[in-house]
Amino acid sequence: MLLEVVRSKLRTKRYSLRTEQAYVGWIRRFVEANAWRHPRKLGGVEVEAFLSALAVQGHVSASTQNQALSALLFLYREVLEVELPWMQTIVRAKKQRRLPTVLSVDEVRRLLAALDGRHWLIASLLYGTGMRLMECLRLRVKDVDFSRKEILVRNGKGGKDRRTMLPLSLMDPLRREVERVRALHEQDVSAGYGTTPLPDALERKYPGAGRDFGWQFMFPALQRSVDPRTGREHRHHVDDAVMARALKRAREQAGITKLLGAHTLRHSFATHLLESGYDIRTIQELLGHKDISTTQIYTHVLNRGGQGVRSPLDA
For the chain, domain boundaries: 2-79, 105-299
Active site residue 127: no
| CA distance linking residue 76 with residue 98, whole number of Å | 33
- pLDDT, the chain, mean: 85
Strand extents, DSSP E, 232-298 = 233-234
Q: Phi and psi for 296 in degrees, rounded to 5?
A: -65, -15
| 6 neighbors 76 (Cβ within 8 angstroms) | no
Closest CA to 139 of 120, 125, 128: 125
Residue-level pLDDT at 62: 81
CB-count burial class (<10 Å; 0-12, 13-18, 19+) for 25: middle
Catalytic residue among 23, 76, 127, 298: 298
CA 165 to chain centroid = 19
Does residue 79 carry a pLDDT above 50? yes
Catalytic residue among 234, 236, 266, 267: 266
Most confident of 64-68, 201-205, 293-297: 64-68
What is the tens place of the pLDDT at every residue in 16-32?
788 899 999 999 999 99
Q: What is the rounded average pLDDT of the residues 255-271?
A: 93
| CA distance linking residue 103 with residue 265, whole number of Å | 8
What is the tens place of the pLDDT at every residue in 207-237?
777 788 999 999 999 888 887 777 788 888 9
What is the tens place of the pLDDT at every residue in 102-145?
999 999 999 999 999 999 999 999 999 999 999 999 999 999 99
Task: Please tell me whether residue 307 adopts helix, strand or coil conformation.
Answer: coil
Architecture of the domain whose range is 2-79: Orthogonal Bundle (1.10)
Residue-level pLDDT at 243: 94
Q: Is the pTM of this model over 0.85?
A: no
Catalytic residue among 13, 263, 300, 304: 263
Q: Phi and psi for 213 in degrees, rounded to 5?
A: -65, -35
What is the tens place of the pLDDT at every residue in 141-182?
999 999 999 999 988 777 788 899 999 999 999 999 999 999
Strand extents, DSSP E, the chain = 144-145, 150-153, 162-165, 225-226, 233-234
Active site residue 148: no
**Where is average pLDDT lowest: 195-209, 210-224, 245-259?**
195-209
Does residue 313 carry a pLDDT above 50? no
| 94 neighbors 29 (Cβ within 8 angstroms) | no
Active site residue 300: no
Active site residue 263: yes
Any residues with CB less than 8 A from the CB of 177 and at least 6 apart, and which?
118, 121, 218, 219
Active site residue 94: no
Catalytic residue among 118, 119, 132, 234: 132
- What does CATH list as the number for 105-299? 1.10.443.10
What is the tens place of the pLDDT at every residue in 43-66?
888 888 898 888 888 888 888 888
Active site residue 77: no
